């Protein structure tokens, strides 16, 4: 098996290193039919934020995909979504995302709630292993990344996989211009 290589990252088979993944992410990878052979790489947890990570490990922002959690209400019902966008863009939360969720206003989930409900660490949240019922919206540009770097559910590592696999995540909806 050939592992992806990007910048100065040392890739390891994710299936062999569950200690580098949040439990819900490890479980999702084990049950995901389209997972293929993603890689995981250990990083300095202090460098998990996109800009610091890219600078430290030689990974350009267009190779990373960020996941943000948003929510809105309509008729008393909360609608939550994970938005996956290339790191050199921003999710259009109060435009495209708001319309897709069918709500009047969207906002980012508070950090404490995002961490508690996802079972992942702040700065490591990823679209893999999120609670059932949360929509997964993936910007079409993220799907085009040759080797995408995404969160692993913890700050001390990152996952590497073909961007096309992001569009194959369970329940994923690939959206043109989800990000600006």
**Average pLDDT across the chain, whole number:** 95
Instruction: Give yes or no for residue 1 having a pLDDT over 70.
Output: no
Lowest mean pLDDT among 9-18, 30-39, 109-118, 159-168: 30-39
In this prediction, residues 31-56 reach a mean pLDDT of 91
Share of the chain above pLDDT 90, in %: 93
In this prediction, residues 17-43 reach a mean pLDDT of 92
Secondary structure element (H or E) that encloses residue 99, with its range:
helix 98-101
- Radius of gyration of the CA atoms of the chain, in A: 15
Instruction: Give yes or no for residue 92 having a pLDDT over 70.
Output: yes
What's residue 39's pLDDT? 95
Tell me phi and psi for residue 113, to 5 degrees. Answer: -70, -45
Of 166 and 4, more confident: 166
Lowest mean pLDDT among 27-36, 53-62, 68-77: 27-36
In this prediction, residues 157-165 reach a mean pLDDT of 96
Q: Using one digit for the tens of pLDDT, what is the confidence trace for 138-153?
A: 999 999 999 999 999 9
CATH of domain 12-175: 3.90.960.10
- Cα dihedral sign, 12-1-50-112: negative
Placement of tokens 């990878």 in the chain:
29
Whole-number Å distance between alpha carbons of 89 and 86: 6
CA proximity to 132, closest of 27, 38, 37, 39 = 27
Q: Are 97 and 106 in contact (CB under 8 A)?
A: yes
In this prediction, residues 55-68 reach a mean pLDDT of 97
Give the start-to-end residue ranges of the domains of the chain.
12-175
Share of the chain above pLDDT 70, in %: 99
Q: Are 139 and 169 in contact (CB under 8 A)?
A: no
Q: Using one digit for the tens of pLDDT, what is the confidence trace for 111-127?
A: 999 999 999 999 999 99
């Amino acid at each position: 098996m050939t592992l992806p290589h990007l910048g100065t990252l040392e890739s390891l088979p994710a299936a062999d290193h569950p200690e580098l993944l949040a439990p819900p992410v490890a479980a999702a990878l084990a049950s995901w039919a389209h997972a293929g052979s993603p890689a995981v790489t250990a990083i300095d947890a202090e460098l998990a934020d996109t800009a610091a990570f890219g600078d430290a490990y030689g990974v350009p922002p267009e190779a990373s995909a960020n996941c943000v959690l948003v929510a809105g209400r309509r008729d008393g019902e909360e609608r939550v979504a994970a938005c996956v966008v290339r790191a050199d863009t921003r999710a259009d939360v109060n435009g495209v995302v708001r319309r897709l969720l069918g709500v009047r206003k969207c906002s980012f989930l508070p950090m404490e709630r995002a961490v508690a409900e996802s079972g992942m660490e702040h700065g490591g949240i990823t679209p893999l292993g999120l609670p059932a019922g949360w929509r997964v919206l993936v910007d079409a540009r993220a799907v085009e990344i040759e080797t995408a770097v995404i969160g692993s559910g913890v700050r001390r590592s990152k996952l590497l996989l073909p961007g096309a696999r992001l569009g194959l995540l369970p329940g994923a909806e690939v959206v043109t211009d989800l990000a600006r």
